């Protein structure tokens, strides 16, 4: 059962985001980007109050994804990314993105905090950051 509502257009949109943000990180990295996106929809806290749909999450401004500003994001969704998108929409979570609301690619190591959010791990080039459970209980 889906943890967020999604039409086929939403699945395509999320699939395009996964590819644009993390294709170089492989399927697992793309799943983690999807985890962060779904968590933002579930959270309704901090920077993500009122974000209830996949399009709202993808195009959130400010605070959204840089990939939507690049032509690469606007390529058609592919089946392999659609399958990954459906997995995260269905509730699959992958550490360290399990409860994360943020990720970024630093030039060096991962800082212990980023905008007052704790580092919960790294996967390849991306560092993941999660709120404290009391700050965003709906993510947990």
For every residue of 21-90, DSSP letters joined together read HHGGGHHHHHHHHHHHHHHHHHH-SGGGTT--SHHHHHT-TTTS-GGGGSGGGGSPP-HHHHHHHHHHHT
Listed in sequence order, the residues at least 6 apart from 114 whose beta carbon sits closer than 8 Å to its beta carbon are 102, 104, 127, 129
pTM of the model: 0.96
Confidence (pLDDT) at 64:
87
CB 101 within 8 A of CB 13: no
Higher pLDDT, residue 115 or 132: 132
Q: Would the pLDDT of 1 be above 90? A: no
Within-domain flag for 43: yes
Q: Which domain holds residue 70?
A: 8-139
Within-domain flag for 2: no
Within-domain flag for 51: yes
Query: pLDDT for 10-35, tens place per residue?
Result: 999 999 999 999 999 999 999 999 99
Mean pLDDT for 28-47 is: 97
Within-domain flag for 3: no
Within-domain flag for 1: no
CB 37 within 8 A of CB 17: yes
Domain count, the chain: 1
Within-domain flag for 48: yes
CB 32 within 8 A of CB 123: yes
Query: pLDDT for 53-110, tens place per residue?
Result: 999 999 999 888 999 999 999 999 999 999 999 999 999 999 999 999 999 999 999 9
Confidence (pLDDT) at 62:
86
Confidence (pLDDT) at 26:
97
Q: How far apart are alpha carbons 111 and 38 in whole angstroms?
A: 24
């Amino acid at each position: 059962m889906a943890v967020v509502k999604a039409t086929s257009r939403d699945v395509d949109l999320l699939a395009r985001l996964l590819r644009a943000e993390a294709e170089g990180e492989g399927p697992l990295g793309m799943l983690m980007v999807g985890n962060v996106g779904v968590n933002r929809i579930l959270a309704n806290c901090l920077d993500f109050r009122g974000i209830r749909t996949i399009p709202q999450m993808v195009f959130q401004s400010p605070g959204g994804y840089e990939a939507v500003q690049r032509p690469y994001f606007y390529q058609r969704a592919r089946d392999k990314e659609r399958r990954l998108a459906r997995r995260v929409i269905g509730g699959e979570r992958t550490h360290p993105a399990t409860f994360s609301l943020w990720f970024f690619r630093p030039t060096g190591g991962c800082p212990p905090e980023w905008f007052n959010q704790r580092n919960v791990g790294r996967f390849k080039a991306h560092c993941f950051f999660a709120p404290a459970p009391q700050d965003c209980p709906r993510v947990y």
